[in-house]
Amino acid sequence: MRLIWCLYVLWILCSGVTSRHRHQQQRLRQVLTQRLQRINTEVSEWLVLKNEEYRGWLEKSSFASWDYETDLSKENAQKLSKNNVEFAKWKKICVREALDKLKLPGLSYDARHQLRILAYSVDPSDPLQLRKVTEIQTKLEEIYGKGVIEYNGTSLQLEPGISNLFESSRDPKVLSEVWVKWRDVTGKKMANLYTEYVELQNTGAIENGFEDLGDAWRQRSFYETPDLVEMTENLWQEIKPLYVQLHSYVRRKLRAYYVKNHPEYDFPNDGSIPAHLLGDMWAQEWTKIFDLVQPYPEVKEVDMDRVMREKGYNVGNMFRRAEEFYTSLGLFKMVPDFWWHSMLVRPKEKDREVQCHASAFDFYNNDTFRIKMCTEVKMKYFQTIHHEMGHIEYFMAYRGQPTVYRDGANGGFHEAIGDTIALSVQSRKHLQTLGLLEDAVMSEENKRKSDINFLMSQALQKLAFLPFGYLVDRWRWRVFSGEVTPDKYNEEWWKMRLEYQGVTSPVPRTNLDFDPGAKFHVAANSQYIIYFTSFLLQFQFYESMCQASGHTGPLYTCDFYRSKTAGEKLLKMLQLGSSKHWKEALQQLTGDTRIRTDPFKNYFQPLIEFLRKENKGEVGWANAKINWK
């Protein structure tokens, strides 16, 4: 009957205008218009109500997460789990109602956009399964957060103890021992839990209309981007030749060092790099081996950590200086609650365990924003502060949006903002402004060499990260789809580490190990492809802001500090939140609608030319194999 009525209406509206039908057409158009207006009004009112309810739940969840991560007690874990279960119950009802409303005709684009966000869920419908998911998630994070190893008669946590040792030691035996112990107290304890977690999360994703959890993630973080897998693969292929050049140069320098200084160590000759020798627990950023691979060691580079201490830097003024950079662009000051309640250093209470992984928190009440990290007076922490404060600036910029739009345009945007600012902070010009670097008189040749040294230090952080940033979720997508089964989790992890990064484990591994779990974002079930895209987006943002500031000269020399023009351009994009498609937000700041690798390549061009000359075509690791039992 409904179909017949629809066909009749369609016939009346589409038929030729005659005296017989004119009145009927006008009347039907009025009825239909009124009906559609009524539908949109009702949906708008419902969205206002649900946005406020959603905001309330996000506020509760943020406080529960904050309380737990700043005090990993059993009581706080139980409170967090209970909150997550109750929040999921609300979401279940909201999702059902949003899906029903999406079936209504004549909805505006904005209404459909909001409804799709509210209709997103990966929670299983079975209450027992849902409770189990939240319990496992909390347990995985607890294992990671409480990870402690025993080394040389001392108990070491990841930060600062293990990280400091990894950054400073050059003894391959020591590094290998610590590398293994960290994975034994984290990933290895997660293996069975993670397998069950994947099964439960996939159940929820499939029940909610997705192919698997990976499909759900891709659709949520990169809204209306069906070609995300192809897009990220193309971006990687554009960057891969640059990485191969860096990898080959670093490998040759490391091999020379260890052959000379640790002749007892059998450095592989198959083109791969042992993962424990790169100055980082996950071999994702290599900045701490700069002294071993510095292109021109005769041009002395400043030890920024030492200079910061000598100049009287402390944790408090590191945060204040970061805030001042943002306000110099016309962006926001931190709210009073930030200074009163943020956890900026590791608490002194010995009986209080915390999650030191740096994070920014939005409490969704418009005046509570905090950072949690265990800061030390080091340049790497100074950069991290700018990164995390970038999240806070984004939070504050879009707080006027409906709750569903209080998010980045896509996941990569949120991660890119603070790093865009950090690129400016790391420039020699800005370090001179801060008094951390003297404006020394150099010959043109020494200036060229110093620039290459600087770009190498940047590449060890930015370029070295990209294959790791890419492969973590490529591995998880394969896990979620069932392509990689639990009995092959670790083997496939190392095959991909070798394929993309060219690194191998220091000791033979087995499928009884679960090395992905030694990385926070795997334990916390946080997406990682967003970091891959953010490391490219930040150079695109940086280039645009440099142009807006009137910068001339090589891109890597730009500092847009105090440029209100650049800040205004950035703010307009930040204020959009996720209310517009990410391509539209990207266009707002850069004029582009796609992620480009050109700014990244332009930034590092002098270094890439240097590497090609040094490597002389001897690159790659085609004959390497994983270190496997």
What residues act catalytically?
357-358, 387-388, 391, 415, 521, 531
* Contact (Cβ atoms closer than 8 angstroms) between residue 309 and residue 269: no
HEC states along 173-241? HHHHHHHHHHHHHCHHHHHHHHHHHHHHHHHHHHHCCCCCHHHHHHHHHCCCCCCHHHHHHHHHHHHHH
Helix 315-328 with 379-397: angle, nearest 10 deg: 50
The DSSP bridge partners found for residue 192 are none
Q: What type of residue is 103?
A: K
* Contact (Cβ atoms closer than 8 angstroms) between residue 21 and residue 374: no
Q: How far is CA 185 from the centre of its chain?
A: 24
Locus of tokens 């952080």: 461
Helix (H, G, I), strand (E, B) or coil at 399: coil
Strand intervals (E) in 422-544: 503-504
> Would you tell me how many other CB atoms lie within 10 Å of the CB of residue 605?
15
| Residue 520, both tokens | 């926070």
Burial annotation 116-155 (CB, 10 A radius, 16+ → b, else e): bbbbbbbbbeeeebbbbbbbbbbbbbbbbbebebebeeee
| Residue 219, both tokens | 């659709």
* 155 CB-side CA count, 13 A: 5
* Contact (Cβ atoms closer than 8 angstroms) between residue 23 and residue 12: no
Q: What are the residues whose beta carbons fall under 8 Å from the beta carbon of 549, sequence distance 6 or more?
A: 558, 560, 563, 565, 566
**In 15-147, which residue ranges form alpha helices assigned H by DSSP?**
19-69, 74-102, 109-118, 127-145
From residue 72, how far is each of 246, 345, 355, 374, 548 by CA, in Å?
A: 40, 16, 7, 15, 45
The DSSP bridge partners found for residue 157 are 148
Give 195-201 contacts, CB < 8 A, sequence gap 24+.
195/486, 195/489, 196/132, 196/136, 197/133, 197/136, 197/137, 197/140, 197/525, 198/479, 198/480, 200/124, 200/129, 200/132, 200/133, 200/136, 201/122, 201/124, 201/133, 201/480, 201/525
